[in-house]
Amino acid sequence: MLFLTEDQVTALAHNIQHPPALQRGVSHRDGGYPDYALLVRFAAFTGLRAGEIGALRVSRLNLLRRRVKVSESVDEANGRFNIGPTKTYSRRSVGLPGPLVDELAVHLSGMKQTDLVFAGPEGGPLRHSNWYPRHFKPAVVRRDARPVHDFMIMAPTATSSQASTTRSTTPSAHDGPGRPP
């Protein structure tokens, strides 16, 4: 497992937001990819899985309380998206660090409660199978970092001032009878 420092996460996010020019006259989006940079920081400092981030709706964020409710995940099979329960079938609430809350407030302005927080170019779920090889992996290589296989690996990088807290709202098999979740 690879852990990145906060500075490494910031550098990786910057590298994703501002990729180098493409060959043959093809260009990137005007202004780069600030939403993808935010996605990287969000993943790093919350520890949410890629599928959980992909299914996250605006209504699940409470910026005043600095919390995100995680209850759904998205996966892709045969070119179709399936939104359903999380990998562990549990619901949990995860803390959001202050600087991330400020960025999310700007990102969410004008969005409806039912909108996906991080949507693909066509408005549907972001295709991890496209985003990872087109944006994330090249940025990792450009940063001369060892490849990482998912966003969740970066979660422990949150500094103590930004550390997120997690509360499960569904008892797990490990809780046993009579133990609170």
Q: Give the pLDDT score at 23.
A: 62
Task: Name 69's bridge partners.
Answer: 93
**Where does 6-19+32-168 sit in CATH, by number?**
1.10.443.10
Q: pLDDT (tens digit, 9 = 90+) per residue, 51-94?
A: 999 999 999 999 999 999 999 999 888 888 888 888 888 899 99
Q: pTM of whole model > 0.85?
A: no
Distance CA 156, CA 3 (A): 7
